[in-house]
Amino acid sequence: MRLRSATVPTDVRPRLNREVTSFVRRSARMSDSLRNRYDAQVGGLVVDVPQGALRTSVADDAAPLDLPMIFGRTAPVVVEIGCGPGDSLVPMARARPDLDLLAFEVFEPAAAALVARAVREDVTNVRVAPVDAVAGLERLVAPGSLTEVWTFFPDPWPKLKHHKRRLVDPAFADLVASRLRPGGRWRLATDWAEYADRMRDVVGGHPAFAAEPEDRGDRPVTRFERRGLAEDRPIADLVYRRVG
């Protein structure tokens, strides 16, 4: 993926109204066959989200998702932010059939590729919402409802002048903390050492999180990780537990 408190507030201001976002919208072109497969899953693997003013935004009056209805069962829920084509999400969902995984992905062709892969591999515990993750967490996910949040390889925005676009900042840490249940975990990965240090400062210094040993767990190698390794960048896998 590349995108862009002890009492944790649940009314974080929607970023739809901000000029700075943590992601850049790219062309939404895809083949007709992929488009047809994707459209056929709207209301199924693709969550039908009430849209706001922008294609990737969420309507102001959108209610939290009824996750048991969407998944057809009651199970612990994990959110992945910026799942891309499912390099990590689909294998991890297949390996964890006891979990339900909801992905936020603004790049529609990537979301379509994820859906196609999930259908092809008969992975049924995945759903994707093609909206901005911040708005999705704020408006579609109820407070205290998540077992884990995954933020793997968010856009590092390496230039200093672009650091304000980075997804992982104190306000976003507030939001993630508010959506995790006590004992839930936030897993992050990056191949940029300076961003990893910033994550440690932001999340490790947050009163709602306690650092756990850095561990990739069963996260498979993604295309972004391969690129980082090819360029001799160390991979940081960070784990934080929701306390309180």
Annotated binding site for substrate: 159, 191, 222-225
Amino acid symbol at 27: S
Task: Say how far apart CA 226 and CA 233 lie, in whole Å.
Answer: 10
Six token digits for residue 38: 């994707």
Give the residue ranges of the annotated binding site for S-adenosyl-L-methionine: 80, 105, 132, 155
| Residue position matching structure tokens 């590349």 | 2
Amino acid symbol at 119: V
CA angle 114, 29, 35 (to 5 degrees): 55
> Any bridge partners for residue 148, and if so which?
78, 185
Catalytically active residues, by annotation: 155
Q: Is the dihedral of CA 97, 142, 205, 134 positive or negative?
A: positive
Rg (CA), the chain: 17
